[in-house]
Amino acid sequence: MSRLAHPAEDPADSRTHLLNNHTADHYRAAVTEGVARISARIATTDRPFTGVSVDELAPTVAAVDLDTPLHDPAAALDELEQVYLRDAIYFHHPRYLAHLNCPVVIPALVGEAVLSAVNSSLDTWDQSAGGTLIERRLVYWTAERIGLGPAADGIFTSGGSQSNLQAMLLARDETCRRELARTGSPEDTRLIDLLPRLRILTSACSHFSIRKSATLLGLGAEAVIAVPADDTKRMRTDALAAELERCRRDGLIPMAVVATAGTTDFGSIDPLPEIADLAARHDAWMHVDAAYGCGLLVSRRRDLLTGIERADSVTVDYHKSFFQPVSSSAVLVRDRATLRHVTYHADYLNPRRMVEQRIPNQVDKSLQTTRRFDALKLWLTLRTMGAQGIGELFDEVIDRAADGWKLLHDDPRFEVVVQPQLSTLVFRYLPGGTQDPELTDRVNLHAREALFASGDAIVAGTKVDGRHYLKFTLLNPETTLDDIAIVLDLIAEHAGRYLAEQPAAGRPAPALSAR
């Protein structure tokens, strides 16, 4: 008999695994056991990764017979330890420095447990009730923090890519509507006839989801104009102005100008007020992708987002800089009327009469139908620790990045690209005694891969002007300057070993430690 099963239950009876009033004790025991396992794992994790390879782990996962159940939650957890928990990548560890993955706050985890068990679907009122009102309240709260005004609205999404897609859809349809009204086009003019003329202008450093959105919306990736960035990786407004003028001369329609408040690679914030001026001058929809930088909304550095209040739409990812579990994101709009472009009515779900009855159905605003109650996690976080508490955590990682930049800047073994506005550092190891860019690329690629394989730390990589660089993305307030220094030494050690293995001819001497 399973040690987690109720004595009167048959674990082979599928009905005993349904959560209801008869199985509440079983549910409590099973979840408690699961929480105990992950708590013990987190408490004893001494590095972010074991270093297991795909070839090592894949046979273990492939050997699991999914057609033969274990009939025992404890046994399933034992198995999970081998196929997942033991070798998972743990973002809570202070030497996880790679991607935009944050450690999560406990109130949000409580919310995750609650929302999964109740399993509300946030598409209609009759599937969520209070969940609908909580999500709407958080949307209005976020819009107020941004400063979008009394007509603002929005919807929770699966992430920044979906938020950007929805924003571009709204921009496309709103631009076409306005263009037809402006030109007095005949009623039989089709929107599809305008699509080849639409253009999206965004920084060369913006997220790839803007190009993907253009493709999904039938515009093609070539509809996206990449505006050059300056030395700090911020959009050049002189270049944006020139591109907007060129569009008008060529008979093209600037559908949207996309500014980024926290680029993925550099954490750079585009000059929002100037971009807003240009977008308004050319009657273009202004979207701000603040998936990363949205944490500034609750930060002492809120002024870095000055100008965001003039946007027509904004992307926020709470699961980046609000320390929420994936997924927890939203897209906000200045004018709730623009959400009509994603409103479709189904008789079985949200018939038009519900609008007349003032029944709030969130599906009227969303690209998705069924949606998780992800807003609950943020709600419990705010009600437990407050917006200021979240902002303090985000400010800590920005402070740490500033210290890390100085460390890199003063270390002759490395070069760092830009001084960060947020919490990202892009840098590379410099092999002493050589100017060979190909060797420098290979050294940095090797150092990153060797560090990952060791499991001692995880860093990301990217390209700058076609060359390979390394990247720290700091989102863990527990990461210290000592952690950063130790990881830099590990990178230098892996790089030095690689260089020592190269043929003697042309082999540079490894750089000495800066400490």
The whole domain housing 19 covers 14-90
Distance of CA 14 to the CA centre of its chain: 37
**Segment among 175-184, 434-443, 448-457 with least mean pLDDT:** 175-184
For the chain, the residue count is 515
Q: What is the 3-state secondary structure (H, E, C) of 9-45?
A: CCCCCHHHHCCCCCCHHHHHHHHHHHHHHHHHHHHHC
Count of domains for the chain? 2
At 7, the pLDDT band (50, 70, 90 cuts) reads very low
CA distances from 38 to 34, 35, 500 (A): 6, 5, 41
If asked whether residues 199 and 296 sit together in one domain, one would say yes
Whether pLDDT at 3 is above 80: no
Q: What confidence score (pLDDT) does residue 511 get?
A: 52
The pLDDT tens digits of the residues spanning 330-379 come to 999 999 999 999 999 998 999 999 988 999 999 999 999 999 999 999 99
R_g over Cα of the chain: 26
Give the tokens for residue 332: 């906000």
At 192, the pLDDT band (50, 70, 90 cuts) reads confident
Query: d(Cα 324, Cα 102) in Å, to the nearest integer?
Result: 8
Q: Are 104 and 32 in contact (CB under 8 A)?
A: no
Q: Write phi, then psi, for 70 (nearest 5 degrees).
A: -90, -20
- Whether 193 maps to a domain, the answer reads yes
Whether pLDDT at 153 is above 60: yes
% of the chain at pLDDT higher than 70: 94
Q: What confidence score (pLDDT) does residue 434 get?
A: 76
Give the tokens for residue 240: 């944006």
**CATH (domain of 50):** 1.20.1650
Residue owning tokens 């447990």:
113
Nearest by Cα to 49 from 483, 474, 457: 457
Whether pLDDT at 441 is above 90: yes
The pLDDT tens digits of the residues spanning 24-44 come to 999 999 999 999 999 999 999
Q: Are 475 and 400 in contact (CB under 8 A)?
A: no
If asked whether residues 147 and 79 sit together in one domain, one would say no
CA distances from 222 to 240, 310, 400 (A): 17, 27, 39
Query: d(Cα 92, Cα 222) in Å, to the nearest integer?
Result: 39
Whether pLDDT at 514 is above 60: no
Query: d(Cα 32, Cα 113) in Å, to the nearest integer?
Result: 11
Query: d(Cα 3, Cα 472) in Å, to the nearest integer?
Result: 44
Q: Are 372 and 115 in contact (CB under 8 A)?
A: yes
If asked whether residues 64 and 144 sit together in one domain, one would say no
**CATH (domain of 242):** 3.40.640.10
Q: Are 170 and 325 in contact (CB under 8 A)?
A: no
- In degrees, rounded to 5, the angle at the alpha carbon of residue 264 between the alpha carbons of residues 42 and 422 is 80
If asked whether residues 84 and 135 sit together in one domain, one would say no
- Whether 392 maps to a domain, the answer reads no
Query: d(Cα 92, Cα 325) in Å, to the nearest integer?
Result: 12
What would the DSSP string read from start to end of 259-280? Answer: EEBS-TTT--B--HHHHHHHHH
Question: What average pLDDT does this structure show over 3-17?
Answer: 66
If asked whether residues 84 and 137 sit together in one domain, one would say no
Q: What confidence score (pLDDT) does residue 433 get?
A: 74
Of 372, 393, 420, at which residue does a domain stop? 372
% of the chain at pLDDT higher than 90: 88
- Whether 279 maps to a domain, the answer reads yes
Of 350, 372, 394, at which residue does a domain stop? 372
If asked whether residues 85 and 125 sit together in one domain, one would say no
If asked whether residues 209 and 292 sit together in one domain, one would say yes
Question: What average pLDDT does this structure show over 158-184?
Answer: 93
- Whether 58 maps to a domain, the answer reads yes
Mean pLDDT estimate for the chain: 94
- Whether 105 maps to a domain, the answer reads no
Question: What average pLDDT does this structure show over 459-476?
Answer: 97
- Whether 321 maps to a domain, the answer reads yes
If asked whether residues 133 and 172 sit together in one domain, one would say yes
Q: Which helix (H) or strand (E) is 227 found in, with range?
A: strand 224-227
If asked whether residues 137 and 84 sit together in one domain, one would say no
Please state the pTM of the whole predicted model: 0.94
Whether pLDDT at 515 is above 60: no
**Segment among 32-36, 207-211, 306-310, 435-439 with least mean pLDDT:** 435-439
At 188, the pLDDT band (50, 70, 90 cuts) reads low
Q: What confidence score (pLDDT) does residue 1 get?
A: 34
If asked whether residues 351 and 218 sit together in one domain, one would say yes
Where do runs of H (alpha helix) occur along 88-206?
A: 106-118, 125-128, 130-146, 160-183
Question: What average pLDDT does this structure show over 496-505?
Answer: 84
Longest CA–CA span in the chain (Å) reads 81
Q: In terms of C-beta density within 10 A (0-12 exposed, 13-18 middle, 19 or more buried), how is residue 186 classed?
A: exposed
Nearest by Cα to 202 from 174, 164, 146, 166: 164
Q: What confidence score (pLDDT) does residue 52 get?
A: 97
Give the tokens for residue 75: 């046994």
Q: Are 334 and 314 in contact (CB under 8 A)?
A: no
CA distances from 22 to 1, 8, 9, 488 (A): 19, 11, 10, 55
Q: What confidence score (pLDDT) does residue 4 get?
A: 53
Whether pLDDT at 225 is above 80: yes
- Whether 385 maps to a domain, the answer reads no
If asked whether residues 187 and 74 sit together in one domain, one would say no
Whether pLDDT at 59 is above 80: yes
In the chain, what is the straight-line distance between the N-terminal and C-terminal CA atoms, in Å?
Answer: 59
Of 341, 372, 403, at which residue does a domain stop? 372
Distance of CA 59 to the CA centre of its chain: 31
Q: What confidence score (pLDDT) does residue 435 get?
A: 81
Q: Write phi, then psi, for 468 (nearest 5 degrees).
A: -80, 130
If asked whether residues 129 and 80 sit together in one domain, one would say no
CB neighbourhood size of 125 (10 A): 18
Q: In the chain, how many H helices and how many E strands? A: 15, 12
- Higher pLDDT, residue 433 or 90: 90
- Whether 450 maps to a domain, the answer reads no
Q: What confidence score (pLDDT) does residue 9 get?
A: 59
Question: What average pLDDT does this structure show over 370-399?
Answer: 98
The pLDDT tens digits of the residues spanning 116-142 come to 999 999 999 999 999 999 999 999 999
